[in-house]
Amino acid sequence: MIIEHYTYRVTWSPEDGEHVGLCAELPSLSWLAASPEAALKGIRKVVSEAVADMQAAGETVPDPLAERRYSGEFRVRIPPHLHRALALQAAENGVSLNRLASAKLAA
């Protein structure tokens, strides 16, 4: 497992008054630091240790998001009145409901 392929993010935490490093694949982990660079370095170290612990315990380690394959399909349940309204809008625009929904999601 190459932890460098995981998705890391550093953001400011107003509550803590520090930068917080996060890993999307392991959302329960975080690292606070005074600088963004230190937050990134810290979260990478914590992730490395957590993955090593998981492997030692025989637990399943999450695959990096960047290496997952996506089908391009997912189901969304919406109220019937919204489904009807979107279908009407798609028809008025001369596009499929799928194309309309994709455009709205991308916006």
Contacts of 78 (CB under 8 A, 6+ apart): 86
How many domains in the chain?
2
The beta strands (E) that lie in the chain are given as 8-13, 18-23, 30-33
Q: Are residues 55 and 90 in the same domain?
A: no
Over 90: is that where the pLDDT of 2 sits?
Answer: no
Q: Tell me what percent of the residues of the chain surpass a pLDDT of 90.
A: 93
Question: Do residues 90 and 52 share a domain?
Answer: no
Residues 61 and 102 in one domain: no
Query: 84 and 40, same structural domain?
Result: no
Predicted pLDDT at 1: 59
pTM beyond 0.75: the answer is no
Domain residue limits at 86: 70-106
Same domain, 90 and 57: no
Q: Indicate the range of 6-10, 68-72, 79-83 predicted with least confidence.
A: 68-72
Q: Are residues 46 and 75 in the same domain?
A: no
What is the arithmetic mean of pLDDT over 71-99? 94
Q: What are phi and psi of 33, to 5 degrees?
A: -155, 160
Question: Hey, is 51 helix, strand or coil?
Answer: helix
Q: Are residues 9 and 30 in the same domain?
A: yes
Helix (H) or strand (E) holding 106: helix 97-106
80 and 60 assigned to the same domain: no
CA 61 – CA 94 distance, rounded (Å): 46
| 41-52 residue pLDDT tens | 999 999 999 999
Asked if residues 2 and 64 have their Cβ atoms less than 8 Å apart, the reply is yes
**Do 15 and 55 fall within a single domain?**
yes
- Are residues 35 and 19 part of one domain? yes
Say if CB 6 and CB 23 are below 8 A apart.
Answer: yes
Are 61 and 78 members of one domain? no
